[in-house]
Amino acid sequence: MTTSYDVVVIGGGPGGYEAAIRAAQLGMSVACIERRLGKDGKPALGGTCLNVGCIPSKALLDSSHRYEETQKHLAVHGIDVQGVSLDVPRMIARKDQVVSQLTGGIAQLFKGHGVTWLQGQGKLLAGRRVLWTSLDGQEQTLDAGQVILATGSEPVRIPVAQVDGQYIVDSTGALDFQEVPARLGIIGAGVIGLELGSVWRRLGAQVVILEAQPEFLPMLDKQIGKETLKLLTKQGLDVRLKARVTGAKLDGQQVVVSYEDAEGAKTESFDRLIVAVGRRPVTEGLLAADSGVELDERRFVHVDSQCRTSVPGVFAIGDLVRGPMLAHKAMEEGVMAAEVIAGHATQVNYDTIIGVIYTHPEVAWVGMSEEQARAQGLQVKVGSFSFAVNGRALASHDAQGLAKFIVDESSDRILGLHVLGPQAGDLVHQAMIAMEFGASIEDLQLMTFAHPTLSEVIHEAALSVDGRAIHAVQKRRK
């Protein structure tokens, strides 16, 4: 028996579920195929982000930050606390409850919008047909007017450090430790490595991060990257650059890691090792040989600016395609694909996709770094301002970091903003909105920002571009 839908979405992560809901809102019959099982063994929507990525990691980041604040930083407020104890299983259980609440919420949204949730595996066949294999192994062919591929990504595995799920784990396993490792090793100083390292460092682990690349967070403005490394090192993260791991083996209950740096071959022993060297698109089993969909050399699906693949009527979004592997990027692409199918003129502005690292302080950026702008031959002016003299930050005892604008000299247009500081992930949106509307830095300079707020740092950084910051001594440009 063949069932027909206007749209079939393969993948129920952030991009897939938003694509399905938006298509349903636009009056189309929609089915979403998702194979994931939750930690409880039951079918779960939400993909990596809600189940084993963005949401659970942020829950643990928040819990661990509160624990460290209670242990070490309340005395400055006149609050003395004694007898603080840590219950890791309860912390993990809270994380799981947050995940369950959100994934269950998506199921309710599907029900409310009339989206059919097909639990199991989806494979694209020729002619925009989709083979659905249910969780119990039953197969059914679906006729789809349009197909959206949204199967996301998975952790990259490396042969020198084979994941065993107990002592050597990937990012998923690192969310479920039942006790704090005395010594924790992490391969990879990217976003995932730094966030997971921050969680377990705050809870008491000695954390060593081994990064093969010579530069720390190369996507950041260099000034911001340098300050970020300085602060994380001060907190206790031992980040070692130019450290190429050559092997990892279990010796009793210790993981012995071999690596090479500028000084030669070295070894370190850890109670647990996290492999966080990046992610790759999930395409295995997704495409029949005659589906017609083209992949590039890294197995990303080739798409145009509106996420159309090489096959008419087939779209691909999120981590399957070019660009940063970010949930919010996938969400916008999912909505765009649904609207394009409905005949709407819509586009994602990839120049204003925000990046955030949820360490403390947070790091966030939008647009170009100073180095990227100059590499393109642009004449730029920059301005920065520190949280150290911001009234709200000082009142909150959270005054580390700075904000930095990059502005085109000739047009006065904002090219980028990089923020290291409290609530950076929220503050950076002010520049994103300005950039979306083509605002100049003068537009921000002329706006009134509430006092006292952290947002004043953004205002002062904008003023600083032209030497006009009030709470800093600088040479005025105009």
Instruction: List residues with catalytic annotation.
Output: 451
SS3 325: coil
Please list the alpha-helical segments (H only) found in 302-453: 327-341, 370-375, 391-395, 424-427, 429-436, 441-445
Q: Return phi, psi of residue 68, to 5°.
A: -65, -40
Q: Say if residues 118 and 31 touch (Cβ distance below 8 Å).
A: yes
**Closest listed residue to residue 427, CA positions, set 443, 442, 406, 405:** 405
Per DSSP, 73 falls in state: I
Q: What is the dihedral of CA 51, 57, 63, 69, to 10 degrees?
A: -170
Q: Say if residues 314 and 301 touch (Cβ distance below 8 Å).
A: no
3-state DSSP helix/strand/coil percent for the chain, to nearest 5? 35, 30, 40
Report the interhelical angle of 429-436 vs 455-464 (nearest 10°).
60
Please list the alpha-helical segments (H only) found in 126-240: 191-202, 222-235
Q: Say if residues 212 and 189 touch (Cβ distance below 8 Å).
A: no
Strands 414-421 and 402-408: antiparallel
Q: Say if residues 313 and 147 touch (Cβ distance below 8 Å).
A: yes
**78 C-beta neighbours (distance < 10 Å), count:** 6
Q: Dihedral of CA 138/143/148/149: which sign?
A: positive
**Block residue for tokens 């409310």:** 112
Enumerate the β-bridge partners of residue 154.
Answer: 280
**Block residue for tokens 């955030």:** 356
Beta-carbon-side half-sphere exposure of residue 201 (alpha carbons within 13 Å): 21
Sequence letter at residue 59: A
Q: Say if residues 449 and 459 touch (Cβ distance below 8 Å).
A: yes
Helix (H) or strand (E) holding 101: helix 88-113
Q: Say if residues 205 and 182 touch (Cβ distance below 8 Å).
A: yes
Rg over alpha carbons for the chain, rounded to the nearest Å, is: 24
Helix (H) or strand (E) holding 5: strand 2-10
Sequence letter at residue 187: I
CA distance 65 to 239: 20
